[in-house]
Amino acid sequence: MARTATPSLGVDLVELPRARRFVREHASRLNGYFHPSEIRILNEHRDPARGAAVVLAAKESVFKATPGSVWMGVDGFRRVRVSRASDGSLRAASTDGRRWRLWARLTPRYALAVCTAEGRKDGSCAGI
């Protein structure tokens, strides 16, 4: 693949209290906001807000690593889907076929996600 001049990095940190508030306020609409693969990540945790924090941070890191090419409001949020790979790592894919591998960590207070776009014209990210 052809390379562009500058690799991109997307990093996002989500506070668990904010994710908890989001889940509480939108509990009846979570299936409309999240793809079924993302709902599975929410349900991996006794507290679904922990999974929501991971998914939200992962999506935002993809948006930041691929500026102008993915994020388009709520529609863009729905076009990028986060899932768990067979090895347990996180992956993201867009409905137009782009794919990313992510690095994420969950602490008692935060979810952190990182996506690196290695300058590929298709906006794909390499795993970390």
Q: How far apart are CA 127 and CA 38, in angstroms?
A: 19
* Spatial contact of 12 and 62, defined as CB atoms under 8 Å apart: no
Number of other CB atoms surrounding residue 96 within 10 Å = 10
pLDDT digit string, tens, across residues 15-32: 999 999 999 999 999 998
Quick: pLDDT tens for 71-128. 567 777 888 899 998 888 898 888 888 888 799 999 999 999 999 765 444 444 444 3
Burial environment of residue 86 by CB neighbours within 10 A (0 to 12, 13 to 18, 19 or more): exposed
When pLDDT is averaged across residues 65-75 and rounded to a whole number, the result is 69
Ordered domains of the chain (ranges, CATH): 8-126 (3.90.470.20)
What are the DSSP calls for 5-55, one per residue?
SS-EEEEEEEEHHHHHHHHHHTGGGHHHHS-HHHHHHHHTSSSHHHHHHHH
Two tokens, residue 79? 């076009």
The whole model's pTM is what?
0.83
* Cα–Cα separations (whole angstroms), residue 27 to 5, 14, 39, 69: 43, 18, 12, 30
The SS3 of residue 100 is strand
Residues 6 or more apart whose CB falls under 8 angstroms from that of 80 comprise 59, 62, 63, 70, 92, 93, 94
